[in-house]
């Protein structure tokens, strides 16, 4: 199943709809979808190394746009959708603690957690819930998400051939590591909150 998904993403990279699909996943991940866009960006970039910077730009902009939706969920719909997302991730009791940390460290929370495997949707929803300044939320999100995806693009541009070889030979191991990193992100979020 993982191999078929990987091959589908590789084939998708050659289609005109590739940027739209990447943008949709990036947008959704920042507000409600559990899978990070890296899972789609990496195979697309190793398939089309000539578009790696374009993919980083799409991923960054769509992630920030999705972050604004996550912010709106936190600001306007926390009592319904926002709490549901926090319950799904087992973080309901920690939302108030996270909100309190914004009073003093909001900018650092966004910058640091936007670079890590901590699910960005939790940062975006809580930023809205904490009524963090929307302008600074967008600016800091552009910085942190841009840094993450353009750094990834740089690595993929430089080592893409080797990375594709590793993915082709050891996809299941890489997928297991990716799942472990995502789980680690959730654990870190709970611990650091």
Per residue, what are the HEC states of the chain?
A: CHHHHHHHHHHHCCCCCHHHHHHHHHHHHCCCCCCCCHHHHHHHHHHCHHHHHHHHHHHHHHHHHHHHHHHHHHHHCHHHHHHHHHHHCCCHHHHHHHHHHHHHHHHHHHHHHCCCCCCHHHHHHHHHHCCCCHHHHHHHHHHHHHHHHHHHHHHHHHHHHHHHHHHHHHHHHHHHHHHHHHHHHHHHHHHHC
pLDDT of residue 70: 93
CB 116 within 8 A of CB 188: yes
Q: Domains of the chain: which residue ranges? A: 2-192
Per-residue pLDDT averaged across 100-105, rounded?
A: 75
pLDDT in tens, 119-163: 788 889 888 988 899 999 999 999 999 999 999 999 998 887 787
In the block, residue with structure tokens 């960006």: 41
pLDDT in tens, 4-63: 766 777 777 778 888 999 999 899 989 888 778 888 898 888 888 899 999 999 999 999
Which tokens sit at 93? 């009791």
pLDDT band at 91 (very low <50, low <70, confident <90, very high): low
pLDDT of residue 136: 95
Give Cα 103 distance to the centre of its chain.
24
pLDDT of residue 189: 60
Q: Which range among 23-32, 77-86, 183-192 has the greatest average pLDDT?
A: 23-32
pLDDT of residue 48: 87
CB 29 within 8 A of CB 121: yes
With 0.85 as the threshold, say if the pTM is over it.
no
Q: Which range among 32-41, 84-93, 172-181 has the greatest average pLDDT?
A: 32-41
pLDDT of residue 143: 96
pLDDT band at 95 (very low <50, low <70, confident <90, very high): low
pLDDT of residue 182: 66
Distance CA 25, CA 40 (A): 8
């Amino acid at each position: 199943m993982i191999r078929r998904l990987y091959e589908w993403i590789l084939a998708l990279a050659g289609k005109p709809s590739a940027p739209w699909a990447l943008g949709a996943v990036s947008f959704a991940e920042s507000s409600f979808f559990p899978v990070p866009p890296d899972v789609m960006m990496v195979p697309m970039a190793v398939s089309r190394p000539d578009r790696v910077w374009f993919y980083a730009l799409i991923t960054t902009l769509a992630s920030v746009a999705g972050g604004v939706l996550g912010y709106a969920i936190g600001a306007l719909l926390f009592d319904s959708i926002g709490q549901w997302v926090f319950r799904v991730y087992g973080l309901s009791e920690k939302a108030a603690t996270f909100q309190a940390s914004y009073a003093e460290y909001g900018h650092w929370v966004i910058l640091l957690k936007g670079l890590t495997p901590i699910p960005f949707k939790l940062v975006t929803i809580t930023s809205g819930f904490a009524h963090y300044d929307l302008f600074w939320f967008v600016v800091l999100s552009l910085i942190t998400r841009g840094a993450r995806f353009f750094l990834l693009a740089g690595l993929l541009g430089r080592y893409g051939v080797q990375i594709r070889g590793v993915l082709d030979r050891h996809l299941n191991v890489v997928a297991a590591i990716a799942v472990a990193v995502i789980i680690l992100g959730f654990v870190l979020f709970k611990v650091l909150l």
